Amino acid sequence: MSLNQEYQKELKLAKFADEQLLKTKFITKLRKPSMKHDHDSMIQNIFKLDGQFIEKNLKCRLCQDYFQKFTITFCGHSFCYLCLFEHLLKSHKCPCCFTKIKGLQFVYCKTIDGFIQSQVIVSSQKHIDNYHSRKNVLKEWKAKKKIKNFNIGDSLDVLDSEHIWCVGKILKIKQKKRNQILIHYQGQNKIYDEYISINSPRLSTLGLFTNRKDILLYQPSLNEELLQIYLRYLEQLQNNETSFIDYLISQRQNQNQNLIFAFQSNGRNTISNLFSLIIYNNQTINDSF
């Protein structure tokens, strides 16, 4: 029954009632309870996405959590800045599509990051707390990485064009603007020396990356002769039975390749049977050993 019909019915019943009073009663009923509430919820829900979209698309594939400092690779995949940065220390491939990513081929998007943050903030307190604690982790990481003073002769960590952290030395500081430094890569030919902006994310305090044992770093390259010496040394260790080596990982890099070799031992056979070669690479090894 419509409100109008209800009103008519009630009016008939209340023969002697004050018509104006009844009208007022129903007009009050017609009024919406809270216009302010509607307005507030409309503002809040301008970008309300359906739940499934939030769950699937606003989360980083690496940490399974909401994007923190939303970062997009040139192949179009998105991660938290720190998750991607950390991943690229160990592998130079996109975790989603395996496209090769070297150098800083990814950008931070402020707009989307702000949007995600706004979504997290209107969600539960648990998400908000988690988001802020992760934000602090990122802040601390940045503080550890940031170089405060640049002086000629200082050593630092520097990310090279192959996306490998190296130890570098400051040779020059550009006097005019003082925002560029000339870096020499320790132990490498001076043809690799380069100018880098002091604000570049490719710079870090000494040892933050180059002291790590769990990331890709340059190792002295093994030529065939050296490899034989090394294998004989490993054989000796095995014969001594004092130590047991399960595998040896060696890495070799040049301009177009990033080869990681794992030599795996199978018990106590002779050296020729002992090592099987496993190669993780998308290219051939013709010119490697």
- Give 96 or 217: the residue with its C-beta nearer to Zn ion: 96
Give, in degrees to the nearest 5, the angle at Cα 198 between 209 and 164: 30
CA distance 27 to 29: 5
Q: How far is the CB of 81 from Zn ion (least distance, A)?
A: 8
Stretch binding Zn ion (CB under 5 A), from 57-65, 129-137, 189-197, 199-207? 57-65
Q: How many CB atoms lie within 10 A of CB 40?
A: 11
Helix H or strand E segment including 78: strand 78-80
Q: Interface with Zn ion includes 96 (CB under 5 A)?
A: yes
Residue from 7, 58, 70, 77 in contact with Zn ion (CB under 5 A): 77
The answer to whether 22 and 11 have CB atoms below 8 angstroms apart is: yes
Pick 98 or 280: Cβ nearer Zn ion: 98
Task: Tell whether residue 63 is a contact of Zn ion (CB under 5 A).
Answer: yes
274 is a contact residue toward Zn ion (CB under 5 A): no
- Nearer to Zn ion by Cβ, of 63 and 147: the residue is 63
| φ, ψ dihedrals at 186, nearest 5° | -55, 130
User: What is the closest distance, in whole angstroms, from the C-beta atom of residue 79 to Zn ion in the complex?
Assistant: 5
Select from 98-106, 159-167, 246-254, 255-263 the region that touches Zn ion (CB under 5 A): 98-106
What's the CA gap between 262 and 266, in Å, rounded? 13
Please choose, from the candidates 208, 218, 142, the residue with its C-alpha nearest in 3D space to the C-alpha of residue 185: 218
Q: Residues in the site for Zn ion, rule: CB under 5 A?
A: 60, 62-63, 75, 77, 80, 83, 94, 96-97, 99
